[in-house]
Amino acid sequence: MNQPKILLLGPPGAGKGTQSKKLADHFDVDHVTTGDALRANKDMETEHGTPREYMDAGELVPDPVVNEIVEAALTEADGFVLDGYPRNLSQAEYLDGITDLDAVITLEVSRGELVERLTGRRVCEECGANFHVEFDQPETPGVCDECGGALIQRDDDNEETVRERLRVFDENTQPVIDFYDEQGELVRVDGERTPDEVFEALQAAIEP
Ligand code: AMP
């Protein structure tokens, strides 16, 4: 399969960002992530307000804003790994109207582990690399191993917002996963293993 079109689903903290980047490198396709696109435009004025108003509360940014980002990115891409979208059924319908997917995979991680991963996560403000205060410490505290940038906590990785993001996932995004499952398209991958093991399982799911 050349230039595959891959959809990676799963709750916040499941490892979608890390794995999507690796998959995009491996298959030489675009990494399309609504979370990163919105973070880069947090204070952009839209007719629905700024993305920040929703993101800092752990809520979903309104569909028209997100759909536009995704359509523009997918139109330019031959193959892609889509990460963080669709997050509700209406986005899933929109996606269905603009592209066909080759693989739909969900990463499964237990709830307690998600909360621990998210609240302890630190990200590089320069290159976006992820670390963890306990499980994946950088060589020098506060400094990115990859590029030397400063490590920060995302505004929405505090415990209160994390709980709300997980509630929003259960209410809005779990039905998207069930929808692909009912279509018989969904592959489930255990995301509670080492990043390399998860990556191997993802590769196997895409290139059977
Ligand atoms: P993420 O980096 O994927 O965890 O996304 C961070 C935040 O960006 C989410 O909590 C939402 O506020 C917003 N966001 C990202 N993707 C979407 C989407 N597909 N639909 C609506 N909001 C989104």
Domain count, the chain: 1
Q: Is the pLDDT of residue 1 over 60?
A: no
Identify which of 18, 94, 30 has the alpha carbon closest to the alpha carbon of residue 62.
94
Identify which of 33, 26, 36, 29 has the alpha carbon closest to the alpha carbon of residue 5.
29
Sole residue written with tokens 């891959």: 6
φ and ψ at residue 189, rounded to 5 degrees: -125, 130
Q: Is the pLDDT of residue 11 over 90?
A: yes
Answer yes or no: is 129 within a domain.
no
Q: Express each pLDDT in 51-106 by its tens digit.
A: 999 999 999 999 999 999 999 999 999 999 999 999 999 999 999 999 999 999 99
Answer yes or no: is 99 within a domain.
yes
Answer yes or no: is 197 within a domain.
yes
SS3 string, the chain, reads: CCCCEEEEECCCCCCHHHHHHHHHHHHCCEEEEHHHHHHCCCCCCECCECHHHHHCCCCCCCHHHHHHHHHHHHHHCCCEEEECCCCCHHHHHHHHHHCCCCEEEEEECCHHHHHHHHHCEEEECCCCCEEECCCECCCCCCECCCCCCEEECCCCCCHHHHHHHHHHHHHHHHHHHHHHHHCCCEEEEECCCCHHHHHHHHHHHHCC
Tell me what percent of the residues of the chain surpass a pLDDT of 70. 99
Identify which of 47, 40, 9, 33 has the alpha carbon closest to the alpha carbon of residue 185.
9
User: Catalytic pick from 5, 22, 117, 121?
Assistant: 121
Residue 208's pLDDT band (cuts 50, 70, 90): confident
Q: Is the pLDDT of residue 43 over 70?
A: yes
User: Catalytic pick from 5, 16, 22, 122?
Assistant: 16
Q: How far is the CA of 199 from the centre of ligand 1 (A)?
A: 23
Cα–Cα distance measured from residue 159 to residue 58, given in angstroms and rounded to the nearest whole number = 11
Residue nearest to atom 1 of ligand 1 (CA): 35
Characterise 26 by phi-psi region: left (phi > 0), alpha (psi -120 to 50), beta (else): alpha
* Span 142-152, average pLDDT: 97
Answer yes or no: is 73 within a domain.
no
CATH of the domain at 181: 3.40.50.300
Cα–Cα distance measured from residue 129 to residue 11, given in angstroms and rounded to the nearest whole number = 19
Answer yes or no: is 95 within a domain.
yes
Q: How far is the CA of 34 from the centre of ligand 1 (A)?
A: 6
The ligand 1 site (C-beta within 6 Å) comprises: 12, 34-35, 38, 54-55, 58-61, 66, 84-85, 87, 91, 156, 165
How many Cβ atoms are within 10 Å of 139's Cβ, its own excluded? 7
- State pTM to two decimals: 0.95
pLDDT of residue 64: 97
Answer yes or no: is 71 within a domain.
no
Answer yes or no: is 155 within a domain.
no
Containing domain of residue 195, as a range? Answer: 5-29+78-110+162-206
Answer yes or no: is 84 within a domain.
yes
188 belongs to the catalytic site: no
For residues 93 and 208, the model is more confident at 93
